[in-house]
Chain A
Amino acid sequence: MRARNPHAAAYPLSLVKRERKAAEGCACRLAVVRLGQCLLIALLALITGPLAAQEMASTAPYAYRQLDDAGQEAKAQALMESLRCLQCQGQSIADSDAPIAGSMRSLVRERIARGEQPEAIRGWLIERYGDYVSYAPRVTGLTWPLFALPLVLVALAAFLLRNRFGRGGAA
């Protein structure tokens, strides 16, 4: 606190001197000016604080900036919610604040703005990182049982129920 005080006081003190010269004896006006100064500083801090924080967050242009076209942004948003952040792997890139997620958002938005289809962008990422990067499962040689099993189980249930009701009706 001691180290900070001289700097903090320097400007208001000079202000006090100037104010005394300009408006002798008018303590009321001085108070108003100082209040104004404080408010101005607070307002500036309020505006520049988040701006500085945003600037610190990523050098990728569209990491924290939405596309101007609302329709395109909605498309990008939908895709970003179904892509995995490569660093914090439980999160989508729409939710993650990891630096690489910022780059991935920027890549998605830039490509959507260029008119690329969301599924083409997903494909581009899968080509580089494998299926793991996408939250939307694909039917492949490895994953087809996941899609087939529910159908098999439903068919089995239908078969068993038919047998049971069929027998019940006969008896």
Chain B
Amino acid sequence: MSEAPIRARSWSTWLPLALFLGFIALVAVGLLRPADRNVASTLIDRPLPAFALPGPIPGTPGLKSADFGHGQPRLLNVFASWCLPCKAEAPQLKQLAAAGVSIEGISVRDRPDDLQAFLAQNGNPYRSIGADDAGSVQLALGSSGVPETYVIDGRGRIRYQHIGDIRPEHVAMLLDKLKAAQ
């Protein structure tokens, strides 16, 4: 046997092992850093879609897109009484409202009785609430679940979307986003 065939075989001998190690590395990366499966809205920096929702309880004013964009940034909170994380974020919404933030609510696929009980139990931080029974405004906003919170700037454009419940550590960040959206 000459030298050449042995040298030619040497790298190909290690190739399967190298491929296997590469595969292990790929799996490890996927396990340690799972991909973010939240579907974010693509409407950031675009105007709030036009909508007009009735109030959830007869006699309440409801919410429409024209209520936004009068020079003052606002939070738009998409929530529902049947959603547990919405209950978890209630203290943080109360804190934001106490800090002088205008919070508007959209209750998604909800029932008046359930909603009233929810607000009685968890407090009502909302200036006004629109009832989105069909969930069509939620879809128009590009929202993929509840709760979600949008920062709407003084000109009525969506500036930021927070997916999931607002935890205590998110309050300062949202206040910063609101300040930036003046």
Tell me the A residues contacting B by CB distance below 8 Å.
58-61, 86-87, 89, 99-100, 102-104, 106-107, 110, 125, 127-130, 132-133
Contact = CB atoms under 8 A, between A and B. Distances in A.
Contacts of B144: 86-87, 100, 129
Interface in B102-133: 108-111, 133
Secondary structure at the B interface, as helix, strand, loop or mixed, is loop
A3 to B, nearest CB: 25
A102 B39 CA distance: 17
A59 B110 contact: yes
B39 A132 contact: yes
Q: Is the interface of A mostly helix, strand, loop or mixed?
A: helix
A103 B109 contact: yes
Contacts, number: 68
B69 interface: no
A107 B109 contact: no
B13 interface: no
B145 A100 contact: yes
A34 B157 CA distance: 66
Central interface residue in A106, A107, A127, A128, by most chain B CB within 10 Å: A128
Contact of A100 (B40, B82, B135): B135
Give the top 4 A-B pairs by smallest Cβ distance, nearest first.
A103-B135, A128-B142, A86-B144, A59-B133
A129 B42 contact: yes
Contact of B39 (A60, A61, A130): A130
